[in-house]
Each structure stands twice: as structure tokens, then as C-alpha cells.
Structure 1
Amino acid sequence: MTNHTPPIIGLAGGIGSGKSTITKCFNNLGVQSVDADDVARLVVQPNSDCLNKIYQRYGEDILMNDGSLDRRSLRTIIFNRPEERTWLEALTHPAIKEEITSQLSKLTSKYALLVHPLLFETHQNAICQLVVAIDVPKEIQIQRVISRDNTDQESVEKIISTQLSNSERIHRANLILENTGNIDEMNAKVFKLHQNILELISC
């Protein structure tokens, strides 16, 4: 990273915790962000090194008709076979980390938000000056993902079980953002948190 990279603030939250909505609230305040989920999609786009290796391992079943990755098929494989998840993470995590670093180095806001569902699990918290954990009940997470992804409860619970628990994430973070209200309440909470972060990074 260059010396011009702004302070990095991690935003950690499991699947269905509302990371995208919260990120938009920060973006509306002029805070630039890098989303690890977006980067994860970027490193497996058609003709990428990662996708070629995934294809070599799993064959045609892993591709959509347009040659892009069938994420649902891949998810089924890795959540039923832990050794395959380990293999996939060893392939993609270094590429994701490199791309995140590259994108963060180009940001110019007073601080940059690194939005990451596996911030602590991938040790990306090490590059963050502060970490904000999203506090959301598991039941709300499950319902959000079921309605968003048109999936079933068992599949969602499997994904949640591979991530840090809500309480563990909160325990490791510097700041906590509760996400149980409506968008107006969230905008107000994010504005307050934004002011707090600006004070903390200027100390």
C-alpha cells in the first residue's frame, strides 16, 4: 500500500447482517469503500486464473451458460465437503487480499471502509485502524437471506456456521453498530458513528 492510503476502518458482519445497506449510508456521507464480496466476484470472473483453476477441478457443472461461475453450484460443493472449502479458500483468499489492497490504495476519503463478512477469519482486521461490528440477531439474518437469495433455512444456517458468531465478532471489534431498525434509524446511527470515527482517527 502507498503512504497515501487513508485510515482503513473495517466493517464486519455475517451474511444477512445488512452490510450493503450500511455501506450505502457511509457512502452518502462521502466515505469511500471496498467490499470484499464484490472483490470475491471480481477474482473469479471469466478467463481469470482463479476461475480456470476452479473449472479444472470441478468441470462444466461449475459454469453458467455464459461461462461465468455458477456460485450456487460451487456453494453446494464447498458447504458439504469441508476439504473443498479449504482448497477454494487457499486459491481465492490471496487473490482477494491483493485486489482489496490495490483498491484501498486508490481511495481518497478521510477514511476508507473495508466491508468484509470474514474480516477476522481472513486476518484482514490487521490492516484496519478500527473495526465496526454489525450486531444483528441470527433470526433476522436467516430471514433476510432466505427472502433475498430465495434459499432455504438449512443452507443459510450452514453458511452462518462457517462464520464467526455475532458475539465473537462484537467481542473483537472496537465499535458496534446495531442493525435492527429501519433505514432512517440506520442513517442516524451511521452519522453518529461517522463523527465518532473521525474523532478517533484524528487522535
Structure 2
Amino acid sequence: MANFIVGLTGGIGSGKTTIANQFSELGIELVDADIIAREVVEQGTTGLSQIISHYGMDILDSSGKLDRTKLRSKVFDDEQERQWLNNLLHPLIRKQMLAAVKNANSPYVIMVVPLLFENGLDSLVNTTLVVDIPPHEQVARTAKRDGVNSTQVEKIINRQISRKLRLSKADAVIDNTLPLEEVRKTVQLLHSSYLDQASTA
């Protein structure tokens, strides 16, 4: 089991996955909250059956899987529904993430969590790493990637903690507007530092 956990986070569209994959190339195992969030609502899970009993069968697509777009539209502007869903899913995600960390074999683990600080999951990690880009770039990158309009992206950004607060909570920051080579160098330096810290953890 890896005793040392790095919590990697950043605003939407900041390039968390790209950075996480660079650590993965260095042999470090990733525990990705977004992937686990999908796993806890797969067919046959407690998560999905509770969502069905709350919203009814029409929350499913034609193949019997959760229709994420429908679910998103039900909770996006309804604080009460969003709270209900979070209360259901967060404990399930947290439990599965910790199990994945326990089974990891690399010297340390990167936990990729978009809402690391918002959901208090920084309490589970030894150190935090923030991937940072300016808000106007977040909007442009996400709108292009997801094929959505900038207003929708801005709404999502406003749901997350402010850039200033996120940076103030970070133990380390990667400026993802720098050239790729610079970013790779930073990852390499952080990797060496995390190996050192993990060996004494």
C-alpha cells in the first residue's frame, strides 16, 4: 500500500488529466475521482438503484444505464436535489477511492479530485498539487472540449472555489500555460520530491 498520497486538483479545463498522465508515465498509480464517480452508478450498484428509486426509471437510457445528461439537468439548478445526490454519492466515492489507494503498488499515489477542497477530500491526502490556468482559458478550453457554450462553463466555474482560494490552499502549483517542456520539468521535479517524502512517510 502507498502511504503517501498527493491530491491533484484544478478548475475545470485546467488540464488535470494531462498532468496526471505525466505522473502515470513515471510509474505512479492514479486514483481518479471522475472514473470512480462513474463506477459507483454502474448497472447493479447500490448507487444506481437509489437514484432510480428517487427519480424513477426514466433517469435511465435505452440500454438501462444512467443517463448522465438527464441527471445533470435535474440537479444543475436545484440546490436541494444536488445536495441529495452529493449525500448519496460522496461517501460511496470516498470509500472506493481509499480502497484503490490501499491496493496501489507505486511508491506514492496521485488522487485526481476536481473538487478536492470543496468536498474536504484534502483531509485524506499528504500534500496538494494544483494545476492552474487563468479563468478565460478555462472557459475557452472547456467550451471547445465539451462542445458547450461559455455561459455553461462559467456557471460550473462559479460552483467551484475561487482561483485565489484554491491557490492559497495548494502545497505546489503547476502553471499549465507554460510550454510543454517546462511543465514536464516541473512534473519531474515534483516526482523526485514526492519520492523523497514517500520514503520517509
TM, length-normalised to structure 2: 0.93
Identity %: 38
Equivalent residue runs for 1:25-64 within 5 Å: 25-64=22-61
In structure 1, C-alpha distance between the alignment counterparts of 2:100 and 2:138, rounded to whole Å: 28
Tell me how far 1:5 sits from its aligned partner: 3.0
In structure 1, C-alpha distance between the alignment counterparts of 2:28 and 2:49, rounded to whole Å: 35
In structure 2, C-alpha distance between the alignment counterparts of 1:192 and 1:13, rounded to whole Å: 19
In structure 2, C-alpha distance between the alignment counterparts of 1:50 and 1:123, rounded to whole Å: 21
Tell me how far 1:185 sits from its aligned partner: 3.3
8 A Cα contact 1:23 1:33, kept in partner: yes
Within the candidate set 186, 189, 194, 1:189 is matched to: 186
Within the candidate set 112, 134, 148, 2:109 is matched to: 112
- In structure 1, the gaps of 5 or more residues are none
Give the length in aligned residue pairs: 200
Is 163-172 or 56-65 further displaced after alignment?
A: 56-65
In structure 2, C-alpha distance between the alignment counterparts of 1:15 and 1:190, rounded to whole Å: 20
- In structure 2, the gaps of 5 or more residues are none
8 A Cα contact 2:31 2:111, kept in partner: yes
Is 190-199 or 107-116 further displaced after alignment?
A: 190-199
Q: Which amino acid in the other structure matches residue 51 of structure 1?
A: L
Helix, strand or coil for the counterpart of 2:61? Answer: coil
Structure 1 outlier segments of 4+, above 4 Å = none
Is 51-60 or 41-50 further displaced after alignment?
A: 51-60
Tell me how far 1:70 sits from its aligned partner: 1.5
Within the candidate set 143, 146, 151, 2:143 is matched to: 146
Post-superposition Cα deviations, 1:56-82, rounded to whole Å, max 9, x if no partner, equal: 222244222111111122112211101
8 A Cα contact 1:50 1:92, kept in partner: yes
In structure 2, C-alpha distance between the alignment counterparts of 1:154 and 1:59, rounded to whole Å: 30
* Aligned CA distance change for structure 1 residues 14 and 43 (closer, same or farther; 3 Å): same
TM, length-normalised to structure 1: 0.92
> Is 1:70–2:67 an aligned residue pair?
yes
CA RMSD in angstroms comes to 1.5
8 A Cα contact 1:36 1:115, kept in partner: yes
Post-superposition Cα deviations, 1:76-131, rounded to whole Å, max 9, x if no partner, equal: 22111011100000000000000001001011111100000111122211121111
8 A Cα contact 2:6 2:127, kept in partner: yes
Aligned to 2:88: 91
In structure 1, C-alpha distance between the alignment counterparts of 2:109 and 2:194, rounded to whole Å: 11
In structure 2, C-alpha distance between the alignment counterparts of 1:40 and 1:20, rounded to whole Å: 15
